[in-house]
Amino acid sequence: ETGVTQTPRHLVMGMTNKKSLKCEQHLGHNAMYWYKQSAKKPLELMFVYSLEERVENNSVPSRFSPECPNSSHLFLHLHTLQPEDSALYLCASSQDLGGVADTQYFGPGTRLTVL
């Protein structure tokens, strides 16, 4: 595997379920990100991790809980979601936190549907 991978690619869950999204990067990067893209809306930054430490939480509801056990893996734990949380969830990584030129590399995303 190369680049940034995400599993699962598609997920359908009920509002009372608990599920997790997984992201793995094979680029040796130190920073990882979660983004959300709802229909007809721009990508929105949710969380930023650097060296396994959360450095940014963009006012995301607590029903989304990120976890970064090491610099290669990032999880997004989901519980008691709402139908409006249905969206494409994208993971990204960058070498560091940003140097302005620190390009972010994206995974293919998980298409989440909450029933």
Partner 1 sequence: DQQVKQNSPSLSVQEGRISILNCDYTNSMFDYFLWYKKYPAEGPTFLISISSIKDKNEDGRFTVFLNKSAKHLSLHIVPSQPGDSAVYFCAASARGIQGAQKLVFGQGTRLTINP
Question: Strand, coil or helix: what is 47?
Answer: strand
Which residue's structure tokens are 């140097």?
99
Side chain identity, residue 12: V
* Nearer to partner 1 (CB atom), residue 83 or residue 99: 99
Provide the 3-class DSSP secondary structure of residue 84.
Answer: helix
Q: Could you say which residues in the range 31-70 bind partner 1, by CB under 8 A? A: 31, 40-45, 48, 50, 55-56
Q: What is the nearest approach in angstroms of partner 1 to the Cβ of residue 55?
A: 4
- Work out whether 25 is an interface residue with partner 1 (CB under 8 A): no
The region that residue 90 occupies, defined by phi over 0 for left and psi between -120 and 50 for alpha, beta otherwise, is beta
Q: How far is the CB of 95 from partner 1 (least distance, A)?
A: 11
Query: How big is the site for partner 1, counted in residues (CB under 8 A)?
Result: 28
In the complex, what is the shortest distance from the CB of residue 81 to partner 1, in angstroms, rounded to a whole number? 22
Residues 2, 19: Cα–Cα separation, whole Å: 25
Taking the complex as a whole, the smallest distance from the CB of residue 113 to partner 1 amounts, in Å, to 16
Contact between 108 and partner 1 by CB under 8 A: the answer reads yes
The CA distances from residue 10 to 22, 42, 63, 70, 114, in Å, are 12, 20, 19, 24, 11
Interface residue list for partner 1 (CB under 8 A): 4, 31, 40-45, 48, 50, 55-56, 90, 92, 94, 97-109
